[in-house]
Amino acid sequence: MSGVSYSSLPLESRRSTVGASDIPCILGLSKWATVEDIWNDKLGNVRERQGWAEKYAEWGKRMEPVIIQKYREEHSGLEGFNAITVVANNKSFLYPGHPFSCTPDALCYDVPSGIEFGLEVKNRGLTAKKEWEKGVEITVAAQCQWSMGVMNYEGWDVAVLFGGNTYWEYSLASNHEALALMRLAGEEFMDDVAANSVPDQEFYSDMGRKVANLLRGT
């Protein structure tokens, strides 16, 4: 992909950075983990995943290539319009000069416009559809904003499959105000890790509420 010139990170090296899947947890926006859980992970005190979380992670990973292929087909440009090159990705990228990283599910290139952007794919149960009717789930919206910041992209698409048979897409634009708050929280969090200091959950939750207010309905 042209224009992607950021340092590639081995997956095991992400412990020393704040990744896109970390930031919603740090900000108190995720049901999967808390800021203290992520802090413990970074220090090597790896928590044991609950069985239900393990199953969600497994099937999300299994369905990822299927959803990417559906997105690719939806934007194949067979008639010469909106042709998008979609490349599945398993590398992590580092934001220069900062302990911030992301691992996009896919990297995309819009052929007619020359614009590069990322793709996040999600596999959700059918009951989750109601929440997504209002826009991208806040956890995912924060994750995508973080990835845009790392990659210096202005856009990020989301492809989500509900219940194995309902497919939706979203396009997100970079929210620079929200990203500034997230970066501030990310820097503070890595300072906590370096100092072996337990994170102030109220501080990060307050930052999370501000970010959520900026991202709601995106």
Q: Which pLDDT tens digit goes with each residue over 168-178?
A: 999 999 999 99
Distance of alpha carbon 121 from alpha carbon 206, whole angstroms: 28
User: What pLDDT sits at residue 159?
Assistant: 98
Please give the average per-residue pLDDT across 114-126, as a whole number. Answer: 94
Mean pLDDT of the chain, nearest integer: 88
User: What pLDDT sits at residue 32?
Assistant: 86
Output the pTM of the full model.
Answer: 0.88
Cβ–Cβ under 8 Å, residues 77 and 84:
yes
Buried b (16+ CB within 10 A) or exposed e, 59-80: ebeebbeebbebbbeebeeeee
Cβ–Cβ under 8 Å, residues 128 and 168:
no
Residue 34: partners with Cβ closer than 8 Å, 6 or more residues away: 25, 28, 201
pLDDT digits (tens, 9 = 90+) for 62-79: 889 999 999 999 987 655
Side chain identity, residue 202: E
Please give the average per-residue pLDDT across 139-159, as a whole number. Answer: 97
Domain 7-215 grouped into CATH 3.90.320.10: yes
pLDDT of 5 > 60? The answer is no
Cβ–Cβ under 8 Å, residues 117 and 71:
no
Please give the average per-residue pLDDT across 8-35, as a whole number. Answer: 85
Q: What percent of the chain has pLDDT over 90?
A: 72
Backbone φ and ψ for 73, nearest 5 degrees, come out as -65, -35
Residue 75 in tokens: 């934007």
